[in-house]
Amino acid sequence: MIDLSFENTSLAIDGNTLLGPIDTKLNLNGITCVLGYNGAGKSLFLELCHGLQEPTQGHVHWNGKTALVTRSQRGFIFQSRIVLRRSVRDNIALPMQAAGWSRPEIETRLAELLEMARLTAQANAPAAVLSGGEAQRMSLVRALATRPEVVIMDEPTSSLDPTATTKFESLIENVATTGVKFIWATHNIAQARRFANTIIFINDGTIIEHGPASQFFAAPQTRIAQTYVEGH
């Protein structure tokens, strides 16, 4: 079990509080989906989780250590795909190189990841020629390259067509069986129903519900969450 704690945590930009205060402890297990209306603060929440944003007030801790210190133990996938100007294999290899892996270690892991993403045939092609779905699968295995405990994803399928989304979801499903934990912000409530073990519902910059997905979808505890579920 991985503990993620927010200790009276807020994030303000230009004097405006955009997130928080959040004071809660989350026990991560399996797939945690983050839901909420557009503008609720889901992306900022994920950035705080990963240490990409420093809280204006309070702290974010992973098993008692700060988000910044533990960042190497996690992977992150942005909503906008990040494709570097290099081959597919070199895109995927970058985190391993940065972590100081040896060449043989990198080559062995690369073969595994390319097969996992169904990109072996495109390994030496420029990453820029990949389709949207292929590029997002590349992003996922790049996030997995150094064997992180947790992968954080910010609406990774929002711009994918149904076929590409299905392939990406299948990859997530397979990876989750290996013990990797996911924090997955999605606007697709049907997707959350299919995959989430736990739900975090954010509204107006605060967590207003957190618990088992089955309980959340059967009986949301707040009116705003009930309206959200009924409207989707």
* CB neighbour burial string for 32-69, b if at least 16 within 10 angstroms, e if fewer: bbbbbbeebbbbbbbbbbbbbbebeebebbbeeeebee
Segments of the chain scoring below 70 in pLDDT: 80-84
> Could you tell me the fold of the domain covering 2-83+149-231?
Rossmann fold (3.40.50)
What is the signed CA dihedral for 23, 25, 28, 33, rounded to 10 degrees? -30
For tokens 């609406």, name the residue: 155
Q: What is the model's pLDDT at position 82?
A: 66
- Would you state the structure tokens that stand for residue 146, as one six-digit string? 């150094």
Query: At 151, is the secondary structure helix, strand, or coil?
Result: strand
Q: Which residues of 127-155 are buried (b: 16+ CB within 10 A; e: fewer)?
A: beebeebbbbbbbbbbbbbbebebbbbbb
Question: pLDDT value at position 91?
Answer: 93
pTM for this prediction: 0.92
